[in-house]
Structure 1
């Protein structure tokens, strides 16, 4: 992480602005502020003539909001000469998910060319890069490069300053020279009307007067070459834009597939966990069954060959080992007896041996009694299972010691 001491003034300014809270905070989403900072730092690194600032932007409905902007000039090359176009790039509230708002910002001695294919009379810029803005791959550096290329083909500004006589006949000025105005934007210095040596030629200026320039003849080969290069650059730009859209659509599809696979992984892990829990429960039940088998085998060994003696009922040969077993036996016997009684009542009402109203009263009373016996059996069974588990744990600890 870069320490504040090693940050540039631009980075320190952006860190301070994007970390502000309260009424003066900029209205950008918290999850995109890091990308906004990255875009502006990259822009000022590639184009030092653009400076990030904060200013108040007024919407068409009258709302005012404090936004970030990149204010300065964009270099462009027109007929072999480099000029600077003053612009303001506003980062709207939804940036970077939506494109910024770009305005050409002419100085007092400049006017906007009318008509212009990419700049309206108010200075608002409309170019294909803004229309094809794709989050998160689109950025400010590529936008400025596109503007520089398009403005170089057709400059959006002209100067309305009229040339003044120069009393010094030896002073010469080239139409390609640029100077700084009081507003901080480069302005064009027009040549003064005086003779110039025939050996020097001056490139035409995009900031020429709105009067028609004098006709001049260009080499058809150069015109064809320049048009071919511009057409080739435009074709390459369109191909790159189409390829980028295709790749981003493929990435979106892969992200969707990744989400589906993630959901399947979660379902498989959940099912595996449930199967493991079920296996543990079955193992516990198996241990209980094995323990009961040991108990029955021990009883058979102890009572093998013994006679019932004077027992009148064979059931008296089985003695319950504890109170819970005795209670379970009684509840189970009562439940089964009531079940047999209900079956007999059903047969009796079918043949007409029992009146229907008496049948309903008997079934209601027997069902209530059967419910209590079954509820008691459930509680007793749970208590027995808990006691058996505790007994198994005690045995394991005994054998382990």
Structure 2
């Protein structure tokens, strides 16, 4: 089986409906390059139970195993889920026309479905297709999953890679094994007659119905899982829609409040601009403090201005600490205020001397 090129693999991945294409591409390339298998990537269409078909990526080919010092190629197929590698794939043994599923391998069901523990405990990123192939090879090496029916003699090993003419073995675990021709001869000797063909037809019909039923259940489970995933996605989108609607309502309310604030502010500005300015002559001087002499009034004003300057210097220092003003402006104002503060303090000392008050 010829190895596929990178472009062929990329084209099939692009045509598929897989979600994580980069992860799928890396996982598939690593699996194809494994020495324990000979697989090719295909894009097969499967009929679903809803009445329509759907394409899935699948790896089809053989897995190498060793049984009783011989190497054998077991035909398998690995179907990748759309959410691969976050969801486990479906692995099946695909026997040829002269092969049958062996009941001795506990990891392979009668319909060919592989149920090894590696698939049951599949979890990304610790699980990948390369390790899955290794796990299948180990399981098949312990007990071959298929056997062939010969017309004369039976063999006790699966189909070997180094001896193509040998047939697949009969199921192991019984005391004696017979080929189909020997079984038919024994039945004829016991019944002393020929068996009707209807028995074989019914047996074939039952086997086909069983395989169809298992395949139907398998595809049904796949669709149920996809429907469940779509329901969760729908629930997540609905919750997101409700959150977006709530945010939009809050933004609209804030917008209305902002418009109301702007309207009120504009009304206040209009009211202030419409008021006539009062003239200085109309102002009534309201001074509750009565000074016995002008020197005391001058002393009081100098004292008040000196304390106001002291407060202003404090707030300038706080503004510099908070970086509200630059250092250059801070030094400029501090220099002017300090000069004025010095003059005011000298004035207070002179007023105290004239008024006969203590200077300290």
- TM (norm. structure 1) is 0.43
